[in-house]
Structure formats: C-alpha cells, structure tokens
Structure 1
Amino acid sequence: MTSTTADAATTSLAAELAGRAGLLPPASMERLSGGKNNRVYLLRSDSGSDSVLKVYFSDKRDRLGAEWRFLTYAQAHGIACVPKPLAKDTSAGAALYTFLPGQKRSSSATSEDVAEAARLIVSLNPPSEAEADAMGPGSEACFTIGEHLASVARRVERLRALDVARPYVEQAVDLVTDRLAPIWRQVAASTLENAKRAGIDIHAPLVPAERVISPSDFGFHNALVHNNTLNFLDFEYAGMDDPAKLVGDFFAVPEIPAPQDCFDVFVSALSAGLALGAAFEARAAALRDVYRVKWACIILNDFLPEDAARRDFALGTNHAERCRAQIAKAHAKLDEIA
C-alpha cells in the first residue's frame, strides 16, 4: 500500500482492519481534510470497495463507541445515507467504515436539504422501537429546560480560562467578557421568564416518548451531496436526546448553515413525523437563542487548552489564521440574537 499522509503504524492499522472486514488490502491511503476532531483516511482498493479509516482523538468521550452504536442501529434499519460500520479496534481508537461519495455544499443549504434532513430523523425513530433504549444518551444530552441552560452555562464559564498562548487571545477575552457573557445572562433570564409564564417546570424531565435518537452534531457541515441526494457523516456524539436540542444545534451550526426561514417547517416535520406535539414545538422555539450562544462558545473552543489540542490533532497547527477567523465567526453568531 502507498501512503503519503499516514505513518507506518496507521498504515498497518488500516491493513489490519481491512482484513477483519473481509476486504482486500488497500492499494493506497490518503488523508482527508475537513475533520475537526479526528484523523480520517480514504483507503482505495483495486476491487473498487473503497473504505474510510477514522482514528479518533482520545479524550473523556467514547467517540468511537457512540458512532459505532449509532451506525450499527442505522444499518439494522436500512438507512442508506450514512456509512456502514465494517471493523473496529477499540484499543487503537479506530474504526473502518464504508466510503460514501459526494461533495460538501459550497454555500448555504436549501429548503429541500432541510426536508431531507427531517426525513432522516423521522426514519431513525420508528414508533415503539425497543432497540433505542440501548443507544444511551447523546453527548451533553438534555432532558429538562434546566439541563439545557446548565449545559450552556458550563460552556460560558469554561471560556473564563482561555489559553494565554493562543494567538489573538486578548481579543477572545474581550469578546467573552464584554459581549458573550452579558448576552448569555440576558438569554438565560428571558428563557426562564418565558418558561415561568408558560407554566413549564424547568426541572421536569421529558418522558421517553418525548425523546429521540439524535445524530447530535447534525447539520450540513457533516453532509455530502451525491446525485442530488444527501449522505450524512460523523456521529460520534449520537444518542438519545431532546429533539429541541437537535433543532437548536441544527439551526445554529455556522458552517454551511441551514436556512433560518426553514425553522418552523423543520420543527413541524419532526413534530408530525414523530408525534411530538405542541410542547416540543414551544420548547424548540424557546431554546433557539440558547443554542446560538452555545455555538458561539463552541466556535471559541480553539482558545481552550484541551479543545485546541483536539483541533491540532485533526487540523494541524496553523493557529493564527484559525484563531482570528474564529473570533469573527463568534461575533457573527452572536449577531443572530435579537
């Protein structure tokens, strides 16, 4: 096998997993760009059975386990627009998946893309699906309004201790102190007040019928267009969650954003397709700005030591350009809040 982008250990791992999956040894191996947390390689085969090796960043999250469980579940339910799991090596933190063709959209997604995304969520959640119980909660799963607010509050608090060695850290500190933190206080207070007026107990958990299997980090930044349809990738945060969180993330992701004027259509499609009802629709609307603040925090993760290490693992070390861009993106995300 030829490779210009992988070391000898990764090349050997790729060959081992291909063998476990019953594939011919890969003829070549190419590092793919775009992953922000992990290293991903395209394995070309002379037989045409191309596959993808994913080497996961090692931290407290079980990224491999979450993605493997989700894709195994999706395969069992005949969902073809996501990769199939082929082989894994838990000790090496790596897994092999089928290769899905396509290209990322060059600009904003379309209303038809949003409808296709809604269909995927509905197809992942058939009625009375006992297997869903084995999925486990998604990353940062929230089942009460209070948990949503506490999750974002923790992200805001983390940004009070930025890595002083990162480029443009002074501008990041000013952004957090002078803009993000005050906006968050306003958003959190208004969310609590609206919940009180609506008679919602912010500590009352969702019953099982109100929860869904969620891809979590779900959006068109993790989608490829092929033959006028979408293939979806990257499910390392997947699990059971509040569908309102899925909606909040879906419309707040800054890369290849979902059209904001499709918010009500997407919510209605999930509500009707999964029989979620008016309570879900109200919760999704109430949490919209909460998730805009969350994504402003995520954008600024490059200034946190642990998160910066993950980005360096996946993307390399062009710190200055990326840090400057992240500050501009965080400002833009906060601009969306009325």
Structure 2
Amino acid sequence: MAGAAAPARTDLMSFAMESLELFCARFGIEAPFTLNPVRSGRNSEVLLIGKGRKKWIVKHYFQQGRDKRDRLAAEFGFLTFLNNAGVAGVSRPLGINQSLHAALYSFLPGKRPEIVTARHITQAADFIGNINSFRNSAAARSLLPAADACFSQQGHIRLAETRIDRLLAALSPESGVEAEACRFVKERLRPLYERLKARVSAQRSPSQLAEPLSPEERILSPSDFGFHNTLELNGALSFLDFEYAGWDDPAKLICDFICQPELPVSAIQARQFTEELGISLPLSGSLSARVELLLPFHRLKWCGILLNEFREEARNRRLHAGVESEGMLDLQLVKSKRYYSEHLAILT
C-alpha cells in the first residue's frame, strides 16, 4: 500500500548493540561476536550470533500496545517446558530480556525440507505425541491456551468470521490494491463463509456447536505447526517457532497442519498424520468428523491469514521481521486468490 507507515521499532542491529552485548555476556557469550540476520520468520527478527565455531540465536519479538499475546513469554515458557521434559528436536532457551523483547536460544543446524515425505509426516506426528506424553504434569497444566485456541466447534467457525471482519474493517474500497482485496473478501470469502455456516447449522444444533471440548480431549499444540517451521539434518527434523503454542483442540492442530500453504502436505499425507497422531494420543472417535466439518472454515481462515499484511499491525510485524515491503500487498493478494482457487472455489 502506498504511504504505509513503517513500524516504530528498536532494532537490535542498530540501537541496542551495547545492550545486546551485556545480555549475551550474562550467558557466557563475550563480545566481540558476529551478528547476522536470519530470514526464518514473518513475525520476529531472528539474528545469528557467531563466535569462533559456536553459534546462538537471538530472537527479537515484535510487540505493540495493542498486541494481546506476549510472544516472548509464550515461546520461552513453552520451550522451557519441553526442555525440562526432555523433548528432543527443539532449541534450548538460554536467556530472556523483557526490556529488549528478546531471548537467547541454542542454535539448531539444518535446512528446511524442500519436499515433504512420509518419513517427515511420521516425525511430525511423533513430535506431537512426545509433547503430549507430558500433558498431565503440573508444568503442562500451568501452560496457557494456544493463540486463537478453539474449545468448541463454534470457536472454529468464529475464527473464520473474525478474520473476514478484521479485513473488511481494515481495507479501503477506494485505494488501488486494497480495493481489489476488498472486493475479493466481500464477493468471495464472505459469501462462502455464510454458505458454509448455513450448511453446518443445518447439520448441528446450536447446543452441539457450543458444547465445550472437555479438558481430557485438549492437547498441547505448537499451534503454527507445519514443515515451514522445521529444519532437517541427516534425515532428522528439528521444530521451530512456538510463539503461539499452548492448549488447543486437536482438530485445529490437524486443520492448520493440512491448510498451511508455505510447505503443504498432500491429502494422503494429511490422512497419514491424523492416523499416526491417533496412535499416540487419546483422540476422540469424533475427531475425524470434526476435522471434516471444520476444515473449510480453516481454509477460509488461511485465505485471511495470507491477507494479514493489509492490516497495519500485521504489516508492521512483517517489516520488523525483515520481510521485503515492496510489492508485499500485491503478492499476498495473489497468494490468497490462488489458495482460494485451489481449495475453496469448488465449494461455491
């Protein structure tokens, strides 16, 4: 969008070098060291610290007054839980500085997979099963709900509606690419949402849709879970990004795993993941039916997520993370339209 304001931010690579050096020194990393940006996320600035042959990661979290979720505390706390439980394949949280909105983590070697295989699916399902083998511990019970956690079927449906409403509130119908995005949301996403909602209402009573998911059926979820947040080394996966992690409905984990557009899974791989997850988790027999019912709403939600950059707060997070701003809105609109054509147009 022309004239979009850059976010007010404090860049670790400019203003805070002295503070960063003091922060790292508390954990045995004495200056001088190298510091390089890592393009690994779209919400936080990630920096690679190097000293000799040793490497660490500093993550600088975006935070605005309107931002309700403390991503720094959420990720650091969830990784602390996983490390204390002995879960492998994740970073070790080494230090935290609330005033810098930053945390220090161990470095994980590897590269993101280029092609998803059945072996990757098994490792992903095993990872979720491993996390949840500690779900009854006191430490697990102290963890908060995941971001956008859904504890009823109505909660899933409302997520899609909220995404659409937020976009319509943010978009200007008179401004270039925003006008095109506004038409797409009004003429494609909103009408499909209404049809899907009417279809579900014909199949489920209001009380069924509002019935809360029992605590026994809830799981610990990384939330933003998919192969876009993995690294592979010698065939073994490591898992990244727990800013949104916490308690959630397994149906939402499965739907998001299926819907994630950056490194997608096939229908066969989606079935494999669900089946293998059922081996290690006490999943309800109604889970598959819930996933089938709710998956179109999550597809709609992901169309909205791909348009997040049209909302000022989300756009500022992307800029903070180092995402290229030129052509950003046009690119995201193309992605959202393509996603709609591939997954939702058939439902109209």
Cα distance in 1 for residues equivalent to 2:263 and 2:240: 14
- Cross-structure match for 2:203: 194
Aligned: 1:79 with 2:84: no
- Cross-structure match for 1:327: 333
Contact 1:162–1:173 (Cα < 8 Å) also in 2: no
Q: Aligned AA for 1:183?
A: L
Deviations 1:25-51 (A, max 9, x none): 4520001113211111000022x3311
Aligned: 1:225 with 2:232: yes
Cα distance in 1 for residues equivalent to 2:105 and 2:147: 21
- Cross-structure match for 1:31: 37
More displaced stretch, 268-277 vs 141-150: 268-277
Cα distance in 1 for residues equivalent to 2:193 and 2:32: 50
Which one of the candidate residues 245, 248, 253 is aligned to 2:260?
253
Which one of the candidate residues 46, 51, 58 is aligned to 1:53?
58
Task: Give the secondary structure class of the aligned counterpart of 1:12.
Answer: helix
Cα distance in 2 for residues equivalent to 1:40 and 1:131: 28
Within-5 A mapping of 1:152-167: 152-164=160-172
More displaced stretch, 78-87 vs 21-30: 21-30
Aligned: 1:182 with 2:191: yes
Q: What TM-score comes out, normalization by structure 2 length?
A: 0.89
More displaced stretch, 94-103 vs 179-188: 179-188
Cα distance in 2 for residues equivalent to 1:13 and 1:182: 51
Which one of the candidate residues 95, 100, 121 is aligned to 2:103?
95
Deviations 1:190-224 (A, max 9, x none): 2333334xx97111111111001100111111111
Deviations 1:71-105 (A, max 9, x none): 00110121221111000001221000011011122
Cα distance in 2 for residues equivalent to 1:118 and 1:88: 30
Q: 1:200 to 1:277 in 2, by over 3 A?
A: farther
Deviation at 1:229, TM superposition (A): 1.3
After the TM superposition, which parts of structure 1 deviate over 6 Å for at least 4 consecutive aligned residues? Answer: none
Contact 1:63–1:236 (Cα < 8 Å) also in 2: yes
Deviation at 1:159, TM superposition (A): 1.2
Cα distance in 1 for residues equivalent to 2:176 and 2:72: 31
Aligned: 1:109 with 2:116: yes
Within-5 A mapping of 1:201-216: 201-216=208-223
Contact 2:196–2:297 (Cα < 8 Å) also in 1: yes
Cα distance in 1 for residues equivalent to 2:164 and 2:231: 32
Task: Give the secondary structure class of the aligned counterpart of 1:288.
Answer: helix
Q: Aligned AA for 2:260?
A: V
Task: Give the secondary structure class of the aligned counterpart of 2:262.
Answer: coil
More displaced stretch, 236-245 vs 179-188: 179-188
Q: 1:146 to 1:313 in 2, by over 3 A?
A: same
Give the unaligned 5+ runs of structure 1.
none
Contact 1:162–1:169 (Cα < 8 Å) also in 2: no
Deviation at 1:14, TM superposition (A): 3.0
Task: Give the secondary structure class of the aligned counterpart of 1:22.
Answer: coil
Cα distance in 1 for residues equivalent to 2:251 and 2:182: 30
Q: 1:45 to 1:177 in 2, by over 3 A?
A: same
Q: What TM-score comes out, normalization by structure 1 length?
A: 0.91
Deviation at 1:12, TM superposition (A): 2.5
Cα distance in 2 for residues equivalent to 1:121 and 1:179: 35
CA RMSD of aligned residues (A): 2.0
Cα distance in 2 for residues equivalent to 1:242 and 1:184: 21
